C-alpha cells in the first residue's frame, strides 16, 4: 500500500528517519521516503507516536494492558517499556527538550489535566489543576512551558510560575494537535472548519495562516524538521511543507501487510429436526420467599418451578414446571411479593408494556400502570404496598400496588438495571453507568436524592439488567454478578458498603435472587438453575423439566409467482412455481397451470414478486425487546426481514427469543445470536460485559458453548491480545468473531468488521478506517484483498426519507412502531427535509453519498459489503430498506445491493447452503412484494407477505393484534396449565 488512513508521523532531529503509525503498527521510513518497515510488538496498539530528542525511543500511548498508558519503544530493538499504570487513561505523550520527562494528559484527578512522568524514575507530577479539560500537550523548546488544548483555545502554562497565557485564540472551527516550533516563536496546529481539517501556523494568538493544500490533515501533532519545515500526514500522503510559503513536497512510501486469514470448519445447524431439546433461555428467575418455587420466563411465557423438581421430562408428572401464562403476549420481569401471595410482571397484553399484579391463590389480575410508553422491571416494596418500576426512557418510578399516579424518584439513566428495595423500604438500589463502569446507585425514595457506590474498587457489575444488585430481604447484603461470577457484598441499611465483596461461585453465573430468609441465592449457570447458600457452602442444581421441539410444518405448498428473483441472477424470472414441502423448497420450475395433487395448498402470487427473505446482519434484537414486546418480531417480518443476527445482546434474553421463535411460541424472524459484547474494564452499553483477563475469558467461552452462541463480538476497549484469543477460541467452536477494528484483527483471524467507521476506543471522532468519512488505499486494500466483509450500518441513510415521506404513514409504522419510535421517525423525516432539528444519529444526503462512495471502493477492490442496520438504534426494519436505497441511489447496482441483504449475509452466517436464495433444497424463507426491486429498489418495501420456515404470514395478520386498542383477556389464565396435547410444541 502507498497511502495511509489517519496515520501519524514523527521524525528524528533533522528528519533523517520518520516513524509512522500505519494501521496500528509502528514503521520506520527514511526521511526521503521508500519502503516503510514495521518494528515493535504487533499487538502493542500504539497511538500518538513522538520521537525522543536523541532519536532513540518513540513515546506512545498504548492500550496493551487494557487502559491507555504511556510507553516507550526502542527504535533499535523494538522493545517496549511501560512508564505509567493504574486505572486511568494517560494520553498524548510529548517529550521534554532534554528527553528526561514526558508530558501527557490524564484523567487521574478528574476531567483531564496535563501531567509529566520522569522517564528514568517514573515520578509523576500534575501540571494543570484548572478543573477544565486540558489535552494534547507540547513542550516549549526551552523546556520552561507546556502548551495544550483547552476547549477551542491553545494555552501554555509556565512551569515555574503557573502563569497561563493564550497562544491561539478561539475562533470558528476546532483546534487540535499543537506543536511548538524549534525557535519557540510559532505554534503549528490543526483547525477543523467547514468539512476540512487544515494545517495552520500561528505566531500570535490572533494571527494564523494555512500551510499547504491538504484538506484532510490527520489529527496528530505535526513534527518540525527545522525552523521552517513541517512534517505531517493527510489525504493519504506523508508531506513536508514550509511554514513561510506553504511549499509542499511529498515523502513517498510503500508498506506491506501480511494477513493470516482464518480457515476453519463452521458450526453446523439442524434446521429440519423436531427433536426435543431442553430450554436454556431462562430469563429473570426469581426465588419465592419460602425458597420452594422459582418463577421465570421461557418460551414466551411465565413458568413456576418447584425447587424440589428432579429429573427431566416433557412437563408431565409431579413437581415439574408449569405455565403461569399461556398466550402469545410478551411477559417479562416477574417478581414475587415479600409474602409470596402476589406476583408482579410486565406485559403488552393491553397494547403497550404495563405492570400487572396477579394473586397466586386464585389467578386474579389487575393492571397497575397504563402510561403512554412502556413500564417494565417491577419491584415490590417490603410491605407490599408499593411497586417500583422503570420506563423506556430509563426513569425510575414508584406507584401504589393498587394503581394510581406514579411518582418519579430517579431521572433518566442509560439502560439502568432492575431496582431492588432496602429492608426498611426507604431506598432503591440499581445498577447504572457511572464513570464508564456499572456501579450501584442508591436512591432515597422520599427525598428523591441518590448517590453511587462501587461494587468493588474499579470494578463493574457484569451487566446492567438482571445481574443485580439484588438486596437481601434482611437488608444486610447485595448479591450481584461481577467478573462473570456471583458475589455478595455486606451493606448498611442505606446500601452503603459495610465491607468487601466476597466471591461465591467460580463458574459462569447470572441473574441472582434471594430466598425470604436471606440465606439462599438462586442464579443461572450456563442455562441451568442453581441455588447456593449465602456463605457459599451448599450448592445444588434445579432441573426445570422444560423442553421444546422446533415447529416444523408438514404441508405441501405450491407458490405461483408472477415474478421471482432467486438471489443470484441479475434479472427476474417470470411465471414460476415454487414447490415447498415442509420447511424447504422442493422445486423451482416454470408455472404449470392446472390442478395440483390433492391436499396441496396453492398460494396465488401471480401479481407479486417472490424473493429470498432479507437478512439484517447487525441487529441488537434484545436492546429494546422489553419495550417493544410482541411488536418487534411482527415488525421485522412485515418488512420482509426473515433473519437477524445479533451483534451484542443480553444473552439469556437472546436465547429465549431464539427458542421461542423456533418453538412457534413467538412470531418473529430466525435469530442468530451472541451474548453481551466482550469489553474491557471500561464500558457504556448495558449489553457489554467487562472482561478482565484470560481466566474470565475461560468463563465466557464456557457460557458461549453452553448457550450455543453463533458469534463472538468484541467491543471498543477490548485489548487486541485478548481479541486474538477470542478469534482462535471462537473458531474452535465453529463461530466467527467481529469487531469495530480492521487491523490488526484482520491479521490474526478476526472474521469481519461492523460499521465503516463506528465508535472505537479513541471515541466517535477517530477511526483508522476513515478520515472525515473517507478511506484511503490502505483500508481499501485490506478490505478488498483480505476477505474481510464490512457491514453497512449507514445511519445517514435516513436522509432518504425525504424521497419517500409516505414511509412514516405506512400502516406497519402506525401499528407496530411504538409511540416514541414513531416520534423519532417523524423527527428523522423533518431532519431529512430540512424542516426540523437533526439528532446525533440523523443522516444527511452528503454523508450518505460519501458512505456509499467508500462502499463502492471496497466492492471495486474485490471486497464484500453486508447489509446491516444497528437497529433498533437506527429505525427498526425501515433502516434496512433505507440502507439498500442509499446504495442504489448513489451508484451500486440494485442486484448487488439486494445480494448484500440475502445471499452474502447467508454466506457470512455460514448457512449459504440453507438460506439467502430461492433454490431447490433451501429453507422456505421468502418475501412477497408488489413491484420489481431490480428496477426500483423502493418497491422492496411493498411487502405483502412473508414465509418463514415454510409458514406463511400475511402482513395484515401481522398487524392485526396492534391495529386497534388491544384488550386484555376477559378471564385470567389458570395458574396450573392444562395437560398439553400431542400437537403442542412447548411443554
pLDDT tens figures, 844-878: 899 999 999 999 999 999 999 999 999 999 999 99
Give per-residue burial for 878-906: e unless 16+ CB within 10 Å, then b.
Answer: bbbbbbbbbbbbbebebbbbbbbbbbbbb
Residues contacting 53, CB < 8 A, separation 6+: 13, 95, 97, 98, 99
- SS3 label, residue 622: coil
Q: Residue 987: pLDDT above 70?
A: no
Q: What is the pLDDT of residue 966?
A: 53
* C-alpha distances out from residue 852 to 198, 683, 760, Å: 25, 30, 21
Mind listing the pLDDT tens digit for each residue in 3-31?
Answer: 999 999 999 988 999 999 999 999 999 99
Taking the chain, what is the end-to-end CA distance rounded to the nearest angstrom?
Answer: 59
Q: What is the pLDDT of residue 965?
A: 52
Q: Residue 691: pLDDT above 70?
A: yes
Q: Residue 982: pLDDT above 80?
A: no
Question: What number is the average pLDDT over the span 247-273?
Answer: 96
Comparing 875 with 963, the larger pLDDT belongs to 875
484538506: which residue's cell? 215
**Alpha carbons 876 and 858: distance in angstroms, whole number:** 26
Mind listing the pLDDT tens digit for each residue in 83-105?
Answer: 999 999 999 999 999 999 999 99
Q: Residue 951: pLDDT above 60?
A: yes
Percentage of the chain modeled with pLDDT above 70: 97
Question: What number is the average pLDDT over the span 244-248?
Answer: 93
Instruction: Pull the grid cell for residue 598.
Output: 390433492
**Alpha carbons 791 and 758: distance in angstroms, whole number:** 11
- SS3 label, residue 324: coil
Partnered with residue 542 across adjacent β-strands are 529
Q: Residue 311: pLDDT above 70?
A: no
508531506: which residue's cell? 239
Q: What is the pLDDT of residue 623?
A: 95
Q: Are 350 and 966 a contacting pair, CB within 8 Å?
A: yes
DSSP label at residue 66? S
Other Cβ atoms closer than 10 A to 316 = 10
Mind listing the pLDDT tens digit for each residue in 575-587?
Answer: 999 999 999 999 9
Residues contacting 252, CB < 8 A, separation 6+: 2, 33, 34, 238
Could you tell me how many helices (H) and strands (E) the chain has, helices first? 13, 69
421517525: which residue's cell? 825
**Alpha carbons 507 and 574: distance in angstroms, whole number:** 57
How big is the chain by its Cα radius of gyration, in Å? 30
Mind listing the pLDDT tens digit for each residue in 919-931?
Answer: 999 999 999 999 9
Question: What number is the average pLDDT over the span 894-902?
Answer: 98
Mind listing the pLDDT tens digit for each residue in 382-418?
Answer: 999 999 999 999 999 999 999 999 999 999 999 999 9
Q: Are 717 and 681 a contacting pair, CB within 8 Å?
A: yes
Nearest Cα residue to 529 out of 310, 378, 712, 698: 310
Backbone angles phi, psi at 634, to 5 degrees: -65, -40
471486497: which residue's cell? 863
Q: What is the pLDDT of residue 261?
A: 93
512508564: which residue's cell? 83
**Alpha carbons 499 and 489: distance in angstroms, whole number:** 7
Q: What is the pLDDT of residue 882?
A: 98
Q: Residue 970: pLDDT above 80?
A: no
Q: Residue 309: pLDDT above 80?
A: no
**Alpha carbons 483 and 477: distance in angstroms, whole number:** 18
Element (H, E) at 540: strand 539-542
Q: Are 236 and 204 a contacting pair, CB within 8 Å?
A: no
**Alpha carbons 29 and 221: distance in angstroms, whole number:** 18
Beta-strand runs (E) in 437-568: 437-444, 449-453, 470-471, 477-482, 485-490, 502-503, 510-514, 520-525, 528-533, 539-542, 547-548, 556-564
Q: What is the pLDDT of residue 319?
A: 55
**Cis-peptide into 469, omega within 30 deg:** yes
Amino acid at each position: 500500500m502507498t497511502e495511509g488512513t489517519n496515520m501519524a508521523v514523527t521524525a528524528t532531529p533533522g528528519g533523517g528517519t520518520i516513524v509512522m503509525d500505519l494501521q496500528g503498527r509502528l514503521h520506520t521510513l527514511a526521511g526521503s521516503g521508500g519502503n516503510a518497515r514495521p518494528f515493535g510488538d504487533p499487538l502493542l496498539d500504539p497511538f500518538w507516536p513522538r520521537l525522543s530528542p536523541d532519536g532513540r525511543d518513540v513515546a506512545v500511548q498504548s492500550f496493551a494492558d487494557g487502559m491507555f498508558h504511556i510507553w516507550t519503544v526502542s527504535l533499535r530493538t523494538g522493545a517496549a517499556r511501560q512508564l505509567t499504570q493504574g486505572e486511568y487513561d494517560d494520553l498524548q505523550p510529548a517529550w521534554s527538550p532534554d528527553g528526561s520527562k514526558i508530558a501527557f494528559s490524564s484523567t487521574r484527578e478528574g476531567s483531564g489535566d496535563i501531567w509529566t512522568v520522569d522517564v528514568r524514575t517514573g515520578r509523576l507530577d500534575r501540571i494543570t489543576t484548572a478543573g477544565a479539560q486540558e489535552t494534547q500537550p507540547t513542550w516549549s523548546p526551552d523546556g520552561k512551558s507546556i502548551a495544550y488544548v483547552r476547549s477551542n483555545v491553545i494555552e501554555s502554562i509556565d512551569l515555574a510560575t503557573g502563569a497561563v497565557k493564550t497562544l491561539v485564540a478561539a475562533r470558528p472551527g476546532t483546534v487540535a494537535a499543537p506543536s511548538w516550533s524549534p525557535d519557540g516563536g510559532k505554534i503549528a496546529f490543526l483547525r477543523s472548519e467547514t468539512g476540512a481539517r487544515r494545517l495552520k501556523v500561528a505566531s500570535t494568538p490572533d494571527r494564523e495562516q494555512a500551510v499547504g493544500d491538504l484538506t484532510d490533515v490527520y489529527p496528530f501533532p505535526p513534527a518540525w524538521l527545522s525552523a521552517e519545515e513541517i512534517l505531517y500526514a493527510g489525504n493519504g500522503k506523508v508531506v513536508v511543507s514550509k511554514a513561510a510559503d506553504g511549499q509542499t513536497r511529498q515523502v513517498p512510501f510503500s508498506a506491506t501487510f501480511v494477513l493470516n486469514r482464518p480457515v476453519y470448519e463452521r458450526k453446523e445447524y439442524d434446521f429440519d429436526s423436531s427433536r426435543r431439546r431442553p430450554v436454556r433461555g431462562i430469563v429473570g428467575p426469581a426465588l419465592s420467599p419460602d425458597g420452594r418455587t422459582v418463577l421465570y420466563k421461557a418460551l414466551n411465557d411465565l413458568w413456576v418451578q418447584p425447587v424440589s423438581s428432579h429429573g427431566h421430562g416433557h412437563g408431565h408428572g409431579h413437581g415439574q414446571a408449569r405455565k403461569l401464562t399461556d398466550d402469545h403476549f410478551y411477559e417479562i420481569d416477574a417478581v414475587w411479593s415479600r409474602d409470596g401471595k402476589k406476583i408482579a410482571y410486565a406485559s403488552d397484553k393491553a397494547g403497550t408494556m404495563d405492570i400487572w399484579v396477579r394473586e397466586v391463590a386464585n389467578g386474579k389480575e389487575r393492571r397497575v400502570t397504563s402510561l403512554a410508553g412502556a413500564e417494565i422491571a417491577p419491584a415490590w416494596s417490603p410491605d407490599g404496598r408499593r411497586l417500583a418500576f422503570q420506563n423506556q426512557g430509563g426513569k425510575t418510578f414508584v406507584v401504589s400496588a393498587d394503581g394510581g399516579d406514579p411518582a418519579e424518584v430517579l431521572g433518566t439513566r442509560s439502560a439502568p438495571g432492575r431496582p431492588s428495595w432496602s429492608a426498611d423500604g426507604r431506598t432503591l438500589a440499581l445498577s447504572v453507568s457511572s464513570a464508564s463502569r456499572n456501579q450501584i446507585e442508591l436512591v432515597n425514595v422520599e427525598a428523591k436524592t441518590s448517590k453511587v457506590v462501587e461494587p468493588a474498587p474499579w470494578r463493574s457489575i457484569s451487566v446492567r439488567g438482571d445481574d443485580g444488585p439484588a438486596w437481601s430481604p434482611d437488608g444486610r447484603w447485595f448479591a450481584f454478578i461481577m467478573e462473570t461470577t456471583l458475589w455478595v457484598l455486606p451493606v448498611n441499611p442505606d446500601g452503603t458498603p459495610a465491607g468487601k465483596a466476597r466471591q461465591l461461585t467460580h463458574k459462569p453465573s447470572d441473574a441472582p435472587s434471594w430466598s425470604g430468609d436471606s440465606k439462599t441465592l438462586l442464579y443461572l449457570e450456563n442455562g441451568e438453575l442453581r441455588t447456593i447458600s449465602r456463605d457459599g457452602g451448599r450448592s445444588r442444581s434445579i432441573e426445570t423439566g422444560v423442553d421444546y421441539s422446533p415447529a416444523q410444518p408438514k404441508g405441501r405448498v405450491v407458490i405461483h409467482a408472477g415474478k421471482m428473483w432467486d438471489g443470484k441472477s441479475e434479472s427476474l424470472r417470470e411465471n414460476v412455481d415454487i414447490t415447498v414441502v415442509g420447511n424447504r423448497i422442493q422445486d423451482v420450475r416454470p408455472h404449470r397451470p392446472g390442478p395440483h395433487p390433492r391436499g396441496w395448498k396453492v398460494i396465488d402470487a401471480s401479481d407479486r414478486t417472490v424473493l429470498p427473505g432479507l437478512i439484517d446482519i447487525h441487529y441488537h434484537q434484545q436492546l429494546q425487546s422489553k419495550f417493544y414486546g410482541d411488536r418487534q418480531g411482527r415488525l421485522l417480518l412485515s418488512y420482509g426481514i426473515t433473519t437477524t443476527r445479533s451483534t451484542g445482546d443480553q444473552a439469556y434474553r437472546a436465547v429465549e427469543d431464539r427458542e421461542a421463535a423456533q418453538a412457534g411460541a413467538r412470531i418473529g424472524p430466525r435469530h442468530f445470536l451472541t451474548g453481551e459484547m466482550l469489553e474491557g474494564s471500561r464500558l457504556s452499553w448495558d449489553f457489554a460485559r467487562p472482561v478482565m483477563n484470560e481466566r474470565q475469558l475461560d468463563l465466557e467461552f464456557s457460557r458461549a458453548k453452553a448457550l450455543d452462541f453463533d458469534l463472538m463480538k468484541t467491543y471498543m476497549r477490548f485489548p487486541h491480545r485478548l481479541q486474538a484469543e477470542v478469534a482462535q477460541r471462537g473458531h474452535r467452536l465453529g463461530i466467527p468473531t467481529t469487531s469495530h477494528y480492521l487491523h490488526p484483527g484482520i491479521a490474526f483471524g478476526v472474521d469481519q468488521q461492523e460499521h465503516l467507521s463506528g465508535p472505537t476506543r479513541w471515541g466517535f471522532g477517530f477511526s483508522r478506517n476513515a478520515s472525515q468519512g473517507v478511506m484511503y488505499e490502505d483500508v481499501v486494500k485490506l478490505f478488498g484483498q483480505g476477505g474481510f466483509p464490512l457491514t453497512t450500518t449507514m445511519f445517514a441513510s435516513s436522509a432518504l426519507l425525504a424521497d419517500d415521506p409516505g414511509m412514516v404513514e405506512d400502516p406497519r409504522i402506525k401499528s407496530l412502531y411504538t409511540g416514541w419510535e414513531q416520534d423519532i421517525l417523524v423527527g428523522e423525516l423533518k431532519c431529512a427535509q430540512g424542516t426540523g432539528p437533526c439528532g446525533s444519529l440523523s443522516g444527511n444526503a452528503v454523508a450518505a453519498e460519501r458512505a456509499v462512495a467508500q462502499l463502492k471502493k471496497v466492492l471495486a477492490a474485490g471486497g464484500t459489503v453486508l447489509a446491516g442496520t444497528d437497529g433498533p438504534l437506527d429505525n427498526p426494519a425501515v433502516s434496512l430498506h433505507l440502507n439498500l436505497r442509499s446504495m442504489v441511489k448513489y451508484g451500486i447496482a440494485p442486484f448487488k445491493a439486494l445480494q448484500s441483504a440475502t445471499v452474502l449475509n447467508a454466506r457470512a452466517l455460514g448457512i449459504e447452503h440453507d438460506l439467502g436464495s430461492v433454490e431447490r433444497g433451501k429453507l422456505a424463507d421468502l418475501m412477497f412484494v408488489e413491484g420489481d426491486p431490480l428496477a426500483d429498489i423502493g418497491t422492496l418495501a411493498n411487502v405483502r407477505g412473508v414465509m418463514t420456515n415454510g409458514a406463511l404470514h400475511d402482513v395484515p395478520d401481522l398487524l392485526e393484534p396492534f391495529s386497534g386498542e388491544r384488550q386484555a383477556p376477559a378471564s385470567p389464565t389458570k395458574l396450573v396449565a392444562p395437560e398439553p396435547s400431542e400437537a403442542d410444541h412447548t411443554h
